[in-house]
Chain A
Amino acid sequence: MKLTKKEIEHIATLARLKLTDEELKKYGSQLSDVLSYIDQLKEVDTEDTEPTAQVTGLQNVLREDVIEDWDKQEIKEALKMAPEIEDRQIKVKRVLD
């Protein structure tokens, strides 16, 4: 399983990662190695096997949809972590160009 440079670039775009040329090259060969290794799963017969996503045995844990008060100070501290704030709101670049 050998990934082309174009494929690696495509994955980086999907992953929202800006990578250097050197990184693209390095990850290309390392990911190819890992993918070749995990290819061995093909030999396992899973024809009648259900997939396992989680192991707790719990199903549909529900709760009432109610608004809970959160500690005001914690909210303030959380907002303080944002790179740019204006009027208690997080400022971002325009979404539409």
Chain B
Amino acid sequence: MKLNELTIKQARALLLKKEITSVELTEACLGRIKEVDDKVKACLTVCEEIAMSEAKKADERIANGETGELLGIPYIAKDNILTKGIRTTAASKILDNYIAPFDATIIKKLKKAGAVLLAKANMDEFAHGASTENSAYGLTHNPWDFDRVPGGSSGGSAAAVAADMCLFSLGTDTGGSVRCPASFCGVTGMKPTYGRSSRFGLMAMTSSTDVPGPITKTVEDSAIVLGVMAGNDKNDASTPDEKVPDYNKDLSKNIKGLKIGVPEIFFGEGLNKDVKEIVNIAIKKYKDLGVEFISIKLPHAKYGIPVYYIITPSEISSNLARFDGIRYGFSEKESKNLLEVYTKSRGKGFGAEAKRRIMLGTYVLSAGYYDAYYLKAQKVRTKIKEELDNELEKLDAILIPTQPTTAFKIGEQSDDPLKMYLEDIYQAPASLSGLPAISIPCGFAKDLPVGMQLIGKRFDEEKIFNIANVYQENTDFHLQKPKI
């Protein structure tokens, strides 16, 4: 097996036995990026020199007897996560020349743990999208079929893991942006509970639902990475002081007798027939393992998209106000006055989808419309959240398909924003409620990966890790590799 194809767990065992070095592992990943990324286009910036020097440092730490779980492990981070001294664009022209002056908290934690940053991954501009087609630097191709999208918005991060350019990657999930690409690319994507890991140093999109999460080859690896990322941060007041459990401890616990809810609404109209069949086979597998399935009703879940597409653009219009051509980023030199600096820099710097969302958010928050849109959406959000919380009180988890289809063709729906927004329909409820949700591969439809999603109770990532891991112990879908 090639070193870049290893899981974190496998690589760590070899590193500690001194059979391989982090330098070798890092070289193998950088080599793979060189070999395939002109076709996949997952990376926006590759930081070869920094990576090699970090790998050398990790090898020294290992030689000194350190045994950290991510020590010497190469990874890729989505480009909306600040990485000190490294170009960080959020795939937007407005940040074309931006070098992050400090590290996001999660990057700091990974650095301290000795993980090796290889590259920054492509994404939909400012994470607005479900296909990575909204990147200002060109699209990313799905490693399973180059004519198809990798999903989004963390499309580069998921494609990079699927193509073995790294051992794991970081994404951010606001309304499905880790889970959707994980599903389309056949890898494991974890959206933790809102507040579980710090948003400090993430470029804010929807501050009330943004959360960073790991994209990995296995559930075991996901548990390792989240264990390092998670925890209270004084620079992010929305991270509660909850203890971070040892996520590795109960991964293989017997799941016999657990209760999983299946919401009828997500298995009806709009769900692709093949995807439905494959997810139903996965349910059957769980039943064989002793899990009890209970049909549940979520009458307000269908309002997830309209609520999400009021709250999200509202928060975006506010969060993206900071890009004004004054302190950093693109600034239009040909401006007569201050107002023109703002309007021209923003008009030229932002891409179409960012502008569309800023416009929508500005409208729904504008005088006379606030109550009808924003306040109404926040009230329906309460209904969606309460409904899920009530059901989860009686259950261990909820299982639904991650996406209603497999990866769609490039360009197929990029002209129709509303259709693209509907891609988030299976993602919005967990995001709006701040619940943890993991997407794992559960089969293939016409040679394209299908993912299923397990949604858990707030701050109970342990349980969904356990349920997802036992599935991977009994199946091999997560081990399949695309032929590139």
Q: Which 10 A-B pairs have the closest CB atoms?
A: A51-B378, A55-B434, A18-B347, A81-B328, A46-B379, A77-B101, A83-B331, A18-B343, A78-B101, A38-B306
Is A15 located at the chain interface by the 8 A CB criterion? yes
Chain B residues whose C-beta falls within 8 Å of the C-beta of A46 in the assembled complex: 376, 379-380, 382-383
Instruction: Please determine whether B347 and A41 come into contact, CB atoms closer than 8 angstroms.
Output: no
Nearest to B341 among chain A residues (CB) is A93
Number of A-B contacts defined by CB within 8 Å:
169
Instruction: Please determine whether B309 and A34 come into contact, CB atoms closer than 8 angstroms.
Output: yes
Q: What secondary structure prevails in chain B residues at the interface with A?
A: helix
Q: Please measure, in the bound complex, the distance between the C-alpha atom of A50 and the C-alpha atom of B348, giving whole angstroms.
A: 40
| 8 A Cβ contacts from B392-418 to A | 417-418
Chain A residues whose C-beta falls within 8 Å of the C-beta of B373 in the assembled complex: 38
Chain B residues whose C-beta falls within 8 Å of the C-beta of A8 in the assembled complex: 359
Chain A residues whose C-beta falls within 8 Å of the C-beta of B344 in the assembled complex: 18
Which residues of B approach A to under 8 Å, CB–CB? 84-85, 97-99, 101-102, 194-195, 208, 234, 237-238, 240, 300, 303, 305-307, 309-310, 317, 321, 324-329, 331, 333, 335, 337-344, 346-348, 350, 352, 355-356, 358-360, 362-363, 366, 373, 375-383, 385, 417-418, 421, 432-434, 458
Q: Smallest CB–CB gap between B232 and chain A, Å?
A: 10
Instruction: Please determine whether A51 and B379 come into contact, CB atoms closer than 8 angstroms.
Output: yes
Instruction: Please determine whether B325 and A83 come into contact, CB atoms closer than 8 angstroms.
Output: yes
The count of residues in chain A whose C-beta lies closer than 8 Å to any C-beta of chain B is 52
Is A44 located at the chain interface by the 8 A CB criterion? yes
Question: Looking at the complex, which one of B237, B238, B366, B382 makes contact with A49 (CB distance below 8 Å)?
Answer: B382
Q: Please measure, in the bound complex, the distance between the C-alpha atom of A25 and the C-alpha atom of B341, giving whole angstroms.
A: 23
Q: Smallest CB–CB gap between A45 and chain B, Å?
A: 9
Q: Please measure, in the bound complex, the distance between the C-alpha atom of A65 and the C-alpha atom of B80, giving whole angstroms.
A: 29
Instruction: Please determine whether B355 and A19 come into contact, CB atoms closer than 8 angstroms.
Output: yes
Q: Smallest CB–CB gap between B128 and chain A, Å?
A: 13
Chain A residues whose C-beta falls within 8 Å of the C-beta of B355 in the assembled complex: 17, 19, 23, 27
- List 18 extra interface pairs beyond A15-B362, A41-B377, CB under 8 A: A11-B363, A15-B359, A18-B347, A23-B352, A30-B418, A31-B356, A35-B363, A44-B379, A46-B379, A49-B379, A52-B382, A53-B378, A54-B194, A56-B238, A61-B237, A77-B85, A81-B98, A93-B337
Q: Smallest CB–CB gap between B299 and chain A, Å?
A: 10
Nearest to A44 among chain B residues (CB) is B380
Q: A18-B343, A51-B382 are in contact. Are A40 and B338 (CB under 8 A)?
A: no
Instruction: Please determine whether B317 and A15 come into contact, CB atoms closer than 8 angstroms.
Output: yes
Nearest to B358 among chain A residues (CB) is A15
Instruction: Please determine whether B335 and A93 come into contact, CB atoms closer than 8 angstroms.
Output: yes
Question: Looking at the complex, which one of A44, A56, A94 makes contact with B303 (CB distance below 8 Å)?
Answer: A44
Chain B residues whose C-beta falls within 8 Å of the C-beta of A71 in the assembled complex: 102
